[in-house]
A and B are shown apart, each in its own frame.
Chain A
Amino acid sequence: MDPMAVFSVWLVIGLVVIAVYAWMAVSTRGAAGDEASYQAVGRIRRPLFVLMLVVLGILFAFTIPRTPYPKGQIPDEVVHAVGKQFQFALSSQPIRSDEEFLQASVKPLKIAQGRLVEFRVTSLDVNHAFAVYDPEGKLLGQTQAMPGYVNRLLLRLDKPGNYTVLCLEYCGLSHHIMRSGFEVVEVSPAASRFSELALRR
């Protein structure tokens, strides 16, 4: 769901609410206060209830299939992502010790364009959040990095370029500088076809 589209929806509904409140406030000028007006608003209750039920029902039905949770897809590539105050380490190999964490945190990671990547995200200390931003600075997706748990985040990385990883869960005084990244490298059509065949085999 595009964030700007969601913002537009919020803005439109918000302006409608403000307009209704303004109309109601204006209606009090010189009003006599008859019971019929009170009941007129009361009669909207049932249609409003049905309308909300329908709108929220449609939103529910439309969005539940689009939840980000893994649904049995087989990834093209697995990346292990580990958070530790105030760094992320990314590696195609499991990160099991502080030494491996240090090595992985300085080693640049490259991923081929168009791959479905499974990030296996965890933390070695406190809660962090692993949020991937595309080369244009748009938040693609995120999951929490929690000690003792591995959260699997699946992303298809179609756009070549430098991706940024930011921590979105407050984790201490240097939270705002906790970052990492990886590069998605362009793949020629021939190489892409070759890797597809290799995967099929």
Chain B
Amino acid sequence: MAEMTIGGAQEFAGEQARMRTLALVWSALLMLLLPILGLLGLFIRAYQSQILAEAAPDVSWFYASLTLHGLGLVGVSYTVSFVGMLYVLSQHVQLNTRVLWLSTALTIVGVVLLVINFLLRFAPGWYFLYPLPFISAGGWASYTADIFLVALAVLGVAWLLWELELIRAIAARYPLSQALGWHYLKGNPSPELPPVVLVATVCAIAGVIALLAAVAMLIFFLVHRFTGSMVDPLVVKNLTFFFGHVLINLAMYHGIGFLYALFPTYSGHAWKTAVPMVIAWNCVLFLVMFAYFHHLYMDFAQPMWVQVVGQIASYGTAIPAAVVTILGTLAQVYRRPVRWTLASSLLFLGTMGWAIGGVGAVLDSTIAINYRFHNTLWVAAHFHTYLLVGLVFLMLGFVAHLTQELSGVAERVGLARAIVALLLLGGYGFVMMFYLSGAHSVPRRYALYPFELEIGTTLAKVALLFVLLVVLGVLLYLIEVGRRWFAAYAALRAS
């Protein structure tokens, strides 16, 4: 099992030490931003439940909160999972941490700009569908759209930089065909490819393509901004959803990348690259490019064949996830002496959230079903399942693992169990209210529900009770993992 541990003396010891510091900083950012952005989510559901009554602030705060909640959590998911993946990758390839720090600094600048815009109540929604940022009917000042474009550009540069650095680092050690595991397909599993390298390669290629699409999207926005004339909204919509869809999928895949490396430290069974895994991840690289079409099913102007390709690609991405990663996780656990800790429990349960959210997503990616579910709360239901009780569990598991590995602080077993129980019960109860609302055709992104759909208000009230359990779970997590974080920080400074 020596090769599975992250902290040991390895080839790239110097950069690994710097990676530890970077990972610890991003862990702190997760523990800071997740509660803040989560509380915005609590405010959103409280607003929809009408419990605020006369105390409810102006509706602009609702939509500004919705925008920052979405943008922020997608950004946190992508960045923290990326750093988690790099952390485990750093024992196999030599990453230049200066580039990663530069990206970190630029990301913080981008986040500050987004927070300023929130205070100015900029509210085009998290996917800022063109031309809404420019045409707000008096909802927000036009200069906030300019600030937003600058924030997008800064974040785009930051993330393109570290994706390119990732590609450079992998390419310095592995030719592309090896990094994608093609030698396994020829029956020659030598040199052995660590699974995280395969996942990181797929993610980096897809990430660069997605970010280039974001550049094209930004150019269209700038053309509108400086000429005042409308550009083709369907083209921009395709670019926006391609970028957004790939980015959020990558966040999940980053999480799987560190899962492959970390979970075996608890199960005692190495997770090795094999032919099914290679086929699966190469298929994912191809299919993830086309699955985004399901966001445009209700744009009947798209050619019919594009919509059908979207359904096939969406179904296609579910198969490798189930037969390789989900099944692989179960194989790691079945009748094995797994060391159950806060970290291993959250990592294991994170894949369960991915599976259950994935079922909701596959159903919604069926055109005939999407016709009734598109932009209802079913959409919020499935993505909150694989994000909140999926990826967030994975990220919290990663941070719990990292801080324990670096600090050596013993875990309080009872507290760890309480955290897992609260997050599970609260998380699944919370998303269940979204699913039920979706099944009742309740629209998403409504500050208040119309009288015909009053059930949306009732279900939002019930959801609040479950959110409170999640809040309590996160609070206990911060207490338990926070003390480990400080101990890990002190240990790093001492070394």
**Contact surface of A with B, Cβ cutoff 8 Å:** 1, 3-4, 6-7, 9-11, 13-14, 17-18, 20-21, 24-25, 27-28, 31-34, 37-38, 40-42, 44-45, 48-49, 52-53, 56, 59-60, 63-64, 66-70, 85-86, 125-127, 129, 131, 133, 137-139, 141-144, 146-153, 164, 166, 168-176, 179
16 A-B pairs with CB atoms under 8 Å apart are A6-B372, A7-B438, A17-B356, A21-B348, A21-B349, A28-B335, A33-B335, A56-B319, A64-B311, A129-B298, A129-B374, A133-B452, A146-B301, A170-B445, A173-B63, A176-B450
Q: A17-B355, A33-B268, A149-B301 are in contact. List 8 more A-B contacts (CB 8 A).
A: A25-B333, A68-B367, A85-B135, A126-B135, A141-B371, A170-B132, A173-B59, A176-B449
Per DSSP, chain A at the interface is mixed
- Asked if B49 lies at the interface with its beta carbon under 8 angstroms from chain A, I say no
Q: Does B404 contact A (CB under 8 A)?
A: no
| Contact B441–A17 (Cβ < 8 Å) | no
What is the distance, in angstroms, from A16's C-beta to the closest C-beta of chain B?
10
Answer whether residue B125 sits at the interface, using C-beta atoms and an 8 A cutoff.
Answer: yes
Given contacts A1-B368, A17-B352, A68-B367, contact A144 B298 (CB under 8 A): yes
Contact assessment for B299 and A27 in the assembled complex, using a CB-CB cutoff below 8 Å: no
Give min CB distance, B285 to chain A, whole Å. Answer: 19
CB-CB < 8 A to B332: which residues of A? 38
Q: Given A21-B349, A63-B366, answer yes or no on A31-B452 (Cβ-Cβ < 8 Å).
A: no
Is the Cβ of B363 less than 8 Å from the Cβ of A6?
yes
Residue of A nearest to B269 (CB): A38
Pairwise interchain contact B374-A142, C-beta atoms closer than 8 A: yes
Q: Which of B99-107, B142-150, B232-240, B245-253 contacts A (4 or more CB under 8 A)?
A: B232-240
Kindly identify which residue among B299, B312, B334 contacts A146, using a CB–CB cutoff of 8 Å.
B299
Give the contacting residue for A126; candidates B129, B232, B435; CB below 8 A.
Answer: B129
A46 → chain B, closest Cβ, in Å?
A: 8
Hey, which chain A residues are within 8 Å of B450, CB to CB? 164, 166, 176, 179
> How far is the CB of A148 from the nearest CB of chain B, in Å?
6
Asked whether, in the complex, the Cβ of B368 is within 8 Å of the Cβ of A137, the reply is no
Residue B376 interfacial (CB < 8 Å): yes
Q: Flag the segment in B36-44, B83-91, B323-331 that touches A.
A: B323-331
CA distance A94 to B348 in the complex (A): 57
Instruction: Tell me, rounded to whole Å, the shortest Cβ–Cβ distance linking B375 to chain A.
Output: 4
- Asked whether, in the complex, the Cβ of B300 is within 8 Å of the Cβ of A151, the reply is yes
- Contact flags (1/0) for B115-149 with A, using CB distance below 8 Å? 00000000111000101100111010000000000
